[in-house]
Amino acid sequence: MSTLTIALIQTSLNWLDKDANLTHFSNKVANIDKSVELILLPETFATGFAINLDCAEPENGTVLNWMITTANSANAVIAGSVLVQQGDKKANRFYWVWPNGKVKYYDKRHLFCLGKEGDFVKAGERREVFTLNGFRILPQVCYDLRFGVFQRSRNDYDVMVNVANWPAARRKVWDTLLMARAMENQCYVIGVNRVGDDGNGVAHNGGTAVYDFKGDTLAQAKDNESSVLITTLDKEPLERFKQSFPAHLDADGFSLQG
């Protein structure tokens, strides 16, 4: 049965300084063991969550090219979200980049109205599932975590990944919903959050963690510290649990509208 070794990078970000952030992450990635097959970075890792400022990338910009080069050198998939220009708005785009240069993406669906994210960011229109080592992986970005219907499994994924700039003030919600999503969807859940204050003075204290299909914590980074958390997922216990407790067979049918 398949396994998947993952590195979760929890760190502070340099506000609006792409060069400094890419250099920082290059150094982090260079020190990750070559057994790692997937490297996860926080939301808007190249700029910070500066949605109202002129910092978006073109479709094939510097940050994506860095991800392609870095994935190749690390021989691992590298993933995280980037602000990408889309007409007069941006997409908060979760890039998924293979070592061979292949690129897929998911655009953040749920935009934070309290922060007026929708004034500057275009909402994604579709859900995506990526596959690696036999694991089906649902990518999500930060605020998406609050919307369980959109993430509801149709037995179509094994791992949910959420990359975030989730504020310390709402940390309890982050921890609770990550565990809840794991239990209700009978899947592994991975949350990757940043630490430190951003350019708007918003504090972040981490909470980067991995939960199993029962909501139990498999690994967790220390709060308020930069770290690289490495974990290995095993598909066999997940499949065995779903066979012994097939709650997904009793799920309600539903369809998602645009």
Active site residues: 43, 108, 142
What single-letter DSSP state applies at residue 224? T
Task: Tell me the three state secondary structure of residue 82.
Answer: strand
Tokens of 98: 């293979």
Amino acid (1-letter code) at residue 47 = T
Give dist(CA 118, CA 141) in Å, integer: 14
CA gap 146, 148 in Å, rounded:
6
- CB-CB contact of 110 with 92 (8 Å): no
Amino acid at the residue 92 = N
CA angle 190, 191, 196 (to 5 degrees): 155
The set of residues, in sequence order, having a beta carbon less than 8 Å from that of 41 and lying 6+ positions away, is: 9, 25, 78, 79, 80, 81, 163, 192
Which neighbouring-strand residues pair with 211?
A: 189, 217
Question: Is 145 within 8 Å of 170 (Cβ atoms)?
Answer: no
Listed residue (159, 166, 147) closest to 42, CA to CA: 166
- Count how many Cα atoms sit within 13 Å of the Cα of residue 88 in the half-sphere of its side chain: 1
